[in-house]
Structure formats: C-alpha cells, structure tokens
Amino acid sequence: MKPFRKYTGSVAPLNKSNIDTDIIIPTEFLKRVERTGYGKHLMYYWRFDDAGKPQTDFVLNKEKYKQASILLTGDNFGCGSSRENAVWALHDYGFQVIIAPSFADIFKGNCSKNGLLLIELEHEQIEALFDLEKNNPNFSLQVDLENEIIQVESGWATSFSIASHIRHKFLNGLDDIDVTMTAEENISRFEQQRAYYMDPYVK
C-alpha cells in the first residue's frame, strides 16, 4: 500500500443509511479473480437502468461528481455479506476515503487491509459536511491523517480518531504481511529455539 498522510479530494454525497455490500457490488459481478476491474460495476443497479443506460439522477452519474474520491454517506455503510469485493469495487472506482457516522465491522476490517480509509464522525458533523457540500460547488476537503483532522477551504474543521494500529499501517503504507515481516527477527529466533517435536515437519 502507498503511505497515506494528507489527502485532498472532491466529495460525492450519498445521504442514505444501511447501504449493503450487495448494493455496492451485486453478486453477479463477483466472477473476477483479480482485485481490479470491479469499479465499473460499483452500485450497478443504482447507476444503470435495465437497459444498461446511466441513471442520470444518481449522484455518481452527475458530471460534478465524476472525479470524486471521497464518499460522504450515512449510517452502517458496508453492512450485509462479508464480500471483500465491495472494498475492491470502491477502491477501483477511485474512492480513497469514506466518511460516515458508522460502518459495518467486517467491512471496516476489509477496508483497513486494502488501503481504503474510513472515518467515523458524529451525526452533527456529518450533517454539517452535507450542508457544506450542498452550498459549495466543487466541494473538496483535506484529510490530515497524521493530525487526525478534516478541514475545508472555508475554514471549517473537525477532528477524528482512527485506531492506532490502523493509523500506523496507513501512515507507513503497510499491509498485514508487511506488519508481520517487521517481526521477522523474533519469528526466526522463536523457530530456532522451539523444541524439535513442535516442528510440524518432524515425523
């Protein structure tokens, strides 16, 4: 993963709660073995009609939001099945950050393993961001992960909190394998010192 310290991006508002993983990436598009290529199917049945034509009133199809890389949304985002493909679809579409009052637990875990930063804010702060976006064309904000602050050009700002181990991974661009490898010396020492009968290859 690439280190994530400060990031500025435009915001797409999707003011709905309980958006589940079947909406994010419908089951029929889970046929790929790669992590890439899911973005074109993101929220497919909200973005396209039965004939495959774009639903022009859906937020992600509006011209002003086509370059958005920060998704602002409602409670319990990512609920439903545990499919990791939902995270891959959001990332492949171009989202780097999702801001909401809450996220489903498994979805949170999947995002932390795939470099998609989730930020939870109080409902009042979320509503303030929706209002700011509504009243400011081309609304963008800056996420400062080092100092755990979100701020906008007008001066509005708020703090947020990320679990320390997840913050460490994002700031340093580490995935779970990278984190394990930081303990390589200790692992090797343990393997050399353990009793022979604990070796799974000893018969």
- How do 117-120 and 97-100 pair as beta strands? parallel
| Residue ranges in the chain whose pLDDT is less than 70 | 202-203
Question: What fold characterizes domain 6-198?
Answer: Aconitase; domain 4 (3.20.19)
Q: Which two tokens stand for residue 175?
A: 């995935």
Rounded (to 5) percent helix, strand, coil in the chain = 40, 20, 40
Q: Give the pLDDT confidence score for residue 194 in this predicted structure.
A: 81
Q: Give the pLDDT confidence score for residue 203 in this predicted structure.
A: 63
Kind and range of the H or E run holding 188 = helix 184-193
Q: Give the pLDDT confidence score for residue 44 in this predicted structure.
A: 97
Q: Give the pLDDT confidence score for residue 202 in this predicted structure.
A: 67
What are the residue ranges of helices labelled H in 72-183?
Answer: 85-93, 105-114, 123-135, 164-172, 176-181
Q: Give the pLDDT confidence score for residue 60 in this predicted structure.
A: 97
Extents of the domains making up the chain: 6-198
70: which strand partners?
A: 11, 97
